[in-house]
Structure 1
Amino acid sequence: MRKLQAAVVGLVMALSCISINAAAATPLRITQLQRCGDLLETRQPTFCLQVPGLEQGPSQVRINGAPLAADQIDHGAGQIRVQVDAASTPSGPLWIEQQGQSSNPVWVSLGSSHVVAADQDAVAQNRDGLTTYVDLVSVIIEEGYDGIEEARRLAKRYDAEVVGAIPPLNTYQFRLPAKNLEQRDAAVLRIGNEVSVDAVVIEESGAEKLVERDIADPPIKTSEEEVSNRFLDAVNFYQRRLEKPSDHIETHPVRIGVIERDVDFDAPDFSDYLGDCRSDMTRTCVYARDAQAAGGHGTTVTGILAAGWDNGGSNGFLRALDQVGPGFDVIVDRNSDAGITANIAASVNLVEDGARVLNWSWGIHRIGARDVNGDPVDSLLRSGIAMSGYEELLEEFFLWLRREHPDVVVVNSAGNGASFSSRDDYRLPSSFVTDQLFVVGGHQRSSKDVDLDDPDYVTRRKASNSDMRVDITAAACTAGSSPLAEQTGPVHCGTSYATPLVAGVIAAMLSINPELQPDQLRMLLRRSAMTIGGESDFEPMEADDLTAPILPSERGNDLQDPDIGHSARLDMFKALELAVESLKNGR
């Protein structure tokens, strides 16, 4: 009997040790960082963090490398609250250190733009079967009014509460006393008729859902996809050309904002980004919340920019430039899960924090949109009333961008509805026409055995939206990150993954010549482009125009150039070469 008891005790102790060791093995990660408390407080904002792997005992929270004082940190059940003095602390990376471990660094933006997402019990299905917020709306105040003062007046009048804000856009988020959609719609109608109100934005959730067409048919070789945009040639040119001591080119740091939720820092592609990344001033750094798995949308999009090399997963373009690069910051943030409104809030903060390039691998279609074959589009659908509000919000954003930050570039995916990217009544935001918005379509390797620069080397990805509003196409298929080193990552396809190829090369061009403006960057991308598809007659005929056709002015006014009339395909190598030439030309 005693032997049996001893055996049981030993088994319990062994299991306890296994449990303790398993708990100790949980890596220190920040999975959530969001504004909390009073979102309108700008002097002493509070942030709530969720940190799996944080154990009992001493730990250190650092922001911009400096430790936060103990009275700025409050430890709760499974959560840390930190308060930051915005007057003495600039926006920057925050991470946690404990027992020799460092967490992933997340970007703390001390900008004033933050919105909240609806609780699970505060959403409902509308008549179109879409999930929509019941009690949260955003109100765009007319320019002639003091935004916060007018928002508070309106909130008091309608028994609402101001809970979020995007002040640079004079936009404020209200929590209405609505219990159902009928009450919400009645309030929206009344508020929208106020003289001081430009528009009311209702949020239809679901923008975070993955809808990329990941099935590769026929099977995709990602190495061939990289070749189609001269990816490795561009890496070689940047490394070789910028290392030449005889003709020194000074590079400049560039900050890139990626509107995504999170990145898997347990994947080998990102495992060396933990802690104080900026201790090395010349390397690429990634700041993001930690993801549960390597196959997520944010991990794949960010990997095209910044994944480590030769890990079996993705290979990041900017990461390859570390040896001679200026130190690229890749900031991954979505503000909150409040859909399109949160995307815009995050974008405003990132621009105010110094981002020169924004990567928008997202977009929406209105219900009723048709593809090139006349069939209904079934991806990322929104109702007409939601689309009208989003359009007003996006218009305010681009007007603000042009007025206050004319050197910033937004790179946006054309979409995966096999539809038309330019129809503003059916597609946002790619339908906006502004020098600061670059729209990217997707292509994949064709089955034809032709030279790389032949228009038939690639073909449009069937799901990719197209037409004259698309500026350029890039490879739509990429290798995703893998959870294990040396393991081949899954193939992901979609315009979301073509977009960071263009965003990355634009960032590299700006690192060479930071004086380049959006219209000049577009010109250099188009001048350097290879071709795709047949020759166009410059008429917007259905699906024949994969992008805006190449013009004689983009080929040295040579009317006989064979590229004229074809659609444009990204040439990363030639784009960097032209960026270097622009230094000599004073552009």
Structure 2
Amino acid sequence: MPEPLRLESLKRCGDLLQSQHQDWCLTVRGLGNATPQLKLGAKVIPADKVQREGENLRLRLDSADYQSGPLWLQDGPRASNAAWLTLRNSHVLAAGTDEVAKNMDGLTTYVDLVSVLIEEDRDGRQEAERLAHKYGATVVGSIAPLNLYQLRLPAKDLVQRDALVLRLGSETSVDAVVIEESSAEETEQAAVHPEEPKKPALDSDEWAANRFLDAVNYYQRRIPGRQPPIQPQPVRIGLIERDVDFDTTDFADYLGACSPPRTCVYARDADKPDNHGTTVAGILAARWEDSGNTGFLRGLDKTSGGFEVIVERNSDAGITANIAASVNLVEDGVRVLNWSWGIHRVGAKDIKGDDVDSLLRSGIAMGGYEELLEEFFLWLRKEHPDVIVVNSAGNGASFSGSDEYRLPSSFITEQLLVVGGHQRSEHTGVAVDDPAYAVKRSSSNIDMRVDITAAACAHASTTNAGQQGAVHCGTSYATPMVAGLLAAMLSINPQLQPEQLRMLLRRSAMTIGDNHDFEQMDAEDLTAPILPSERRYQLNDKDVGRSARLDMQKALDLAAQSRDRVR
């Protein structure tokens, strides 16, 4: 059995600011003596554009000759996984191990790489070069649509860096300086909590609480059966994750060429089957087998117009890279972005008044991130008002809407939908639409900024067929349930705008939590309480005042009805 061919790393190298002639560096596992053929979308890349050193390949592409698309390798009968190669030009550098240091909060932080947000009335590139020249720095990366430029400072330690950051920040042309602190993957629980929430049993049907199978059945049978029949459209979804393990049974058949009308997954290959990206992507796209995860969009394959699931995190440069990847994906036509990540400020409190101890960032970093995210959402509203970002509320048992303490979920914009997590309750014999059918997962962040809750637990993918995947829980895994559903709704009616999508989700929602959510003293608002306007203006509807729980089947039904209704 020959070793499989896997594309493990794909990133821009050389001059990141050069948009015409782009250099790309690849790391490939399983290369033979001969260099395999490389394909970008439908085009074969000429062999003279490819250089090889051992397991590493380097490509030079002229961006005028190609379009963004999936890149994969073909070596006789062996095909690799495909990763998305974007010809858009937002790229930032990640720091190496010798370019970081521990700050006073004990957090890992970048020493010489910082980014400056230039005021929008200035020519960003020109101004960045001027500042670089003035302070002895070099411009090494950019997110030009947001007027953000990354500088490498002449700083050897944090004292020198902070001095330069202060001076840069006081320049009139600089809106904010963004410093980067370590990674921002939303782990299940980054620290061990004294009261670790219980995970459900392996055989617990968590997704029944969101009517997952009912929704798949509805889409397969009712969408083609409507009069006139609906022709579902293809939809692109972006997942801000690192990679996916293509050696699992869930993803084994996504190798080589793939194009709608089937579901496609484009990602770098991961080495572990139970990593964050594989589980998040699996909730959307895993094969329906007896083991591992089960992908919602994959279940719609025979009926849908196809879904392209693009897993992309740019370089590993933390939040700045997440935003760079998001900008490129949106410019490449993504309608739904899945952000299963978020951060808390040092000093954030949980609902019991104790310190949150996971995914912390210092005050100076949070200030920069806040400005960066604000620029991103302003740009999104102006240039791409039809894109929706789905974000996890977080697992700090805290408040997702306290703006000085939690990002990005505290932002108030129609284009950001925040998802909390629930688990099946101990009550047996209750109907699925009973509020007691599911309970808030005790570590899920809550409050009025959360738009909806979804099942927080999923099965990890496995390497062998017939194996039971371990149960993973967290708001990270509730988020793609909602992102996948929104993509399915958009495939039915591509005209739906972000605020309409939110409205349909909440109008179709089942409930969770106790009543009387309007009264602050005894309320535990798991989400924004359901309003009379979301229940046909019936003031005495039993759902009013309760929190919202995702109903996937009803939401699809409302999306189908929305095609005929003029608002």
TM-score w.r.t. length of structure 2? 0.97
Distance (whole Å) between structure 2 residues aligned to residue 540 and residue 172 of structure 1: 44
Aligned: 1:322 with 2:272: no
Structure 1 residues 223 and 239: alpha-carbon distance in aligned structure 2, compared to 1, 3 A threshold: farther
What displacement does 1:57 show? 1.2
Aligned: 1:248 with 2:191: no
Give the match's secondary structure for 1:415: coil
Name which of 293, 307, 321 aligns with 2:286: 307
Per-residue deviation, residues 383-433 of structure 1 (Å, max 9, x unmatched): 000000000000000000000000000000000000000001000000000
What displacement does 1:59 show? 1.5
Structure 1 residues 222 and 429: alpha-carbon distance in aligned structure 2, compared to 1, 3 A threshold: farther
Q: Match for residue 264 of structure 1?
A: 245
Q: Match for residue 27 of structure 2?
A: 50
Structure 1 residues 222 and 83: alpha-carbon distance in aligned structure 2, compared to 1, 3 A threshold: farther
Q: Match for residue 114 of structure 2?
A: 137
Aligned: 1:515 with 2:495: yes
Name which of 390, 394, 399 aligns with 2:373: 394
Q: Match for residue 95 of structure 2?
A: 118
Distance (whole Å) between structure 1 residues aligned to residue 535 and residue 297 of structure 2: 28
Q: Match for residue 463 of structure 2?
A: 483
Aligned: 1:199 with 2:176: yes
What displacement does 1:536 show? 3.0
Structure 1 residues 211-220 or 149-158, which shifts more?
211-220
Distance (whole Å) between structure 2 residues aligned to residue 167 and residue 53 of structure 1: 36
Per-residue deviation, residues 19-58 of structure 1 (Å, max 9, x unmatched): xxxxx73310000000000000101111100001011114
Q: Match for residue 274 of structure 1?
A: 255
Aligned: 1:445 with 2:424: yes
Q: Match for residue 527 of structure 1?
A: 507
Aligned: 1:88 with 2:65: yes
What displacement does 1:480 show? 1.1
Distance (whole Å) between structure 2 residues aligned to residue 529 and residue 33 of structure 1: 40
Give the match's secondary structure for 2:414: coil
Q: Match for residue 3 of structure 1?
A: none
Kept after mapping to 1: 8 A contact 2:186/2:476? no
Structure with the larger helix share: 1
Structure 1 residues 76-85 or 171-180, which shifts more?
76-85
Kept after mapping to 1: 8 A contact 2:516/2:523? no
Distance (whole Å) between structure 1 residues aligned to residue 209 and residue 200 of structure 2: 16
Structure 1 residues 241-250 or 78-87, which shifts more?
241-250
**Matched residue type, 2:224:** E
Per-residue deviation, residues 309-360 of structure 1 (Å, max 9, x unmatched): 0140101000000000001000000001100000000000000000000000
Q: Match for residue 499 of structure 1?
A: 479
Query: What RMSD, in angstroms, separates the aligned Cα atoms of the two structures?
Result: 1.4
Aligned: 1:466 with 2:446: yes
Name which of 456, 471, 477 aligns with 2:436: 456
Structure 1 residues 306-315 or 268-277, which shifts more?
306-315
Name which of 181, 192, 208 aligns with 1:227: 208
Give the match's secondary structure for 2:381: helix
**Matched residue type, 1:131:** T
**Matched residue type, 1:39:** L
Distance (whole Å) between structure 1 residues aligned to residue 64 and residue 401 of structure 2: 43
Q: Which ranges in structure 1 are unaligned for 5 or more consecutive residues?
A: 1-23
Q: Percent of aligned pairs with the same residue?
A: 64
Q: Match for residue 12 of structure 1?
A: none
Q: Which ranges in structure 2 are unaligned for 5 or more consecutive residues?
A: none
**Matched residue type, 2:307:** F
Per-residue deviation, residues 550-581 of structure 1 (Å, max 9, x unmatched): 00000000111100000000000000000000
Distance (whole Å) between structure 1 residues aligned to residue 21 and residue 335 of structure 2: 27
Aligned: 1:583 with 2:563: yes
Give the match's secondary structure for 1:232: helix
Q: Match for residue 14 of structure 1?
A: none
Per-residue deviation, residues 486-534 of structure 1 (Å, max 9, x unmatched): 1110100000000000000000000000000011000000000000001
Name which of 131, 136, 146 aligns with 1:169: 146
Structure 1 residues 430 and 487: alpha-carbon distance in aligned structure 2, compared to 1, 3 A threshold: same
Per-residue deviation, residues 71-127 of structure 1 (Å, max 9, x unmatched): 211112321011122112110000001131000000001111000100100100000
What displacement does 1:211 show? 4.1
Distance (whole Å) between structure 2 residues aligned to residue 531 and residue 245 of structure 1: 29
Distance (whole Å) between structure 2 residues aligned to residue 72 and residue 540 of structure 1: 64
Q: How many residues align?
A: 562
Kept after mapping to 2: 8 A contact 1:476/1:495? yes
Structure 1 residues 184 and 309: alpha-carbon distance in aligned structure 2, compared to 1, 3 A threshold: same
What displacement does 1:150 show? 0.4
Distance (whole Å) between structure 2 residues aligned to residue 385 and residue 222 of structure 1: 45
Give the match's secondary structure for 2:63: coil
Distance (whole Å) between structure 2 residues aligned to residue 44 and residue 108 of structure 1: 14
What displacement does 1:541 show? 5.0
Q: Match for residue 54 of structure 2?
A: 77
Kept after mapping to 1: 8 A contact 2:200/2:423? no
Kept after mapping to 1: 8 A contact 2:517/2:524? no
**Matched residue type, 1:240:** R
What displacement does 1:209 show? 6.8
Kept after mapping to 1: 8 A contact 2:517/2:523? no
TM-score w.r.t. length of structure 1? 0.94
**Matched residue type, 2:278:** T
What displacement does 1:222 show? 5.7
**Matched residue type, 2:551:** D
Structure 1 residues 30 and 175: alpha-carbon distance in aligned structure 2, compared to 1, 3 A threshold: same
Give the match's secondary structure for 2:177: strand
Give the match's secondary structure for 2:117: strand
Structure 1 residues 540 and 196: alpha-carbon distance in aligned structure 2, compared to 1, 3 A threshold: farther
Give the match's secondary structure for 2:21: coil
What displacement does 1:539 show? 4.5
Kept after mapping to 1: 8 A contact 2:186/2:340? no
Structure 1 residues 76-85 or 323-332, which shifts more?
76-85
Distance (whole Å) between structure 1 residues aligned to residue 187 and residue 502 of structure 2: 29
Distance (whole Å) between structure 1 residues aligned to residue 522 and residue 474 of structure 2: 21
Q: Match for residue 128 of structure 2?
A: 151
Kept after mapping to 2: 8 A contact 1:326/1:511? yes
Q: Match for residue 17 of structure 1?
A: none
Bigger Cα Rg: 1
Kept after mapping to 2: 8 A contact 1:258/1:332? yes
Distance (whole Å) between structure 2 residues aligned to residue 397 and residue 430 of structure 1: 14
Kept after mapping to 2: 8 A contact 1:216/1:493? no
Kept after mapping to 1: 8 A contact 2:240/2:340? yes
Structure 1 segments (4+ residues) deviating >6 Å: 213-216
Kept after mapping to 1: 8 A contact 2:186/2:394? no
**Matched residue type, 1:122:** E
